[in-house]
Structure 1
């Protein structure tokens, strides 16, 4: 008997055992339906952006991408779902600044947003307008609004889309910087908050540009300032918060994409490349601009840096303002 035969049989047996594993490892990603989780209800900015990206991502990857709305707890229910998902590239999170950089400083979460995900893309930013009712308030500048708050402490109230949102944080930042006493009135969403400012029930609000601009143009609201670094082409006469006398008040909501931590780097890179191609499409950029979103197309590293910087910034505001969830 050839003494080498047992060795050959052993080698063949090992190769047979390894073959399924090798086949699985070489299967092309994604290979099956992707789950694009949006931690907010349908119809909002994050949801609309997510549906646009999901449709085109499915076309690019030749698969189906399903948008899965898992709303609640200021975006953290959907965030927790993705944090628990398998790191195989099949689950994607399209979210915003609130759950990633603000809410973790207001409530105890079952996951750490700084460690639970791999950053994929910084999609874009959304500036806000400080608006008041044009008919029921006499204020034509931020200085006049602050003067009224100082004259009658507690008489000026600001609305937001809910506790822990970037809209609340801007009001709190204004209160801190102006050293005034103001009342925060949280709502279940940006739309009802804005409606009560239009109705005169609340003094002012930092509102997303896309939601507020039509009402400013119709004369129902008066814009006192914009939170972006420079003036907006659509409202060239409206000053920035910096021009209004408030330093370090460039505040923009950002939209971003993540996957669960430990997702293979090759999948993260491929996702980023495909999302980047989508964002560079002129028709996509134009549709996003109608929502008030300025496309950024940031890298994973840029997203991580932005998240860390904003987390530190809003943690300080929350601490100094003594903000707590109701």
Structure 2
């Protein structure tokens, strides 16, 4: 069951990622591309070997956990392999676009960063066996170019958001913890609610006996739960039990465990700050993207498939990058 749930989460993640970034990749023109060019954004080209590095690393990471048959699974008629391909296309399009933005702003890597690029490329390329080099069609120079563009993408992102330091109050980021009982029958929920409000009632025992959910304890901040649940939860005092709450998936009874989880509130502050930094970046990124001509080699793109070869197991492209480019 846990593996199935994890798979569904993975499928949702891939679908969401492709939908989020892929919408920016509009096919404007499909002529004038070289044979091995998957796409071109202005003068920035993405070749088939680059795409295969991303796709194969993603493939092998997930196969090591879920097995080879994971790609056959479908959701709404779309296979996970199709979703993975779209995710890789979207990620590469975004990296190339951000590298272009860096060029426009004359952002470059310094000498130490170039040394890290060279060291990372040497390590990753050196980890590939002959079959992997042949299957991917790469050399060390191309790997260095890919790491350089990725580093530029990160650098331009940091430059754009470095002055975005939003002040977030404790109240805005406040995270609370509640126990919850969810039931499908309203009258039964009202009966259990009366029991929960009795002096000395064991709320957790009632949850074990009556709740339709296996999870009882929830910690969340504002904007993270359905509105009726959130409103009732944030209105509770410590150890107070709510009335029956009508929600989309049933009837809830809540008991407040903590009105202010300091550690979780601090984490939520960081989460909200990152969201605002991303909003600031996306505003500039979207404006830049809309001015670009993008070309997709549909024939080549449609021919791309995963590599199924027991000798092609490389999965460390991004791990090696992280080793040399740890961001604060």
State whether TM-score is above 0.5: no
TM-score bucket of the superposed structures, by smaller chain: under 0.3
Write 1 or 2 for the structure with the bigger share of strand. Answer: 1
TM-score w.r.t. structure 1 length?
Answer: 0.24
* TM-score normalized by the length of structure 2: 0.23
| Structure 1 or 2: more helix by fraction | 2
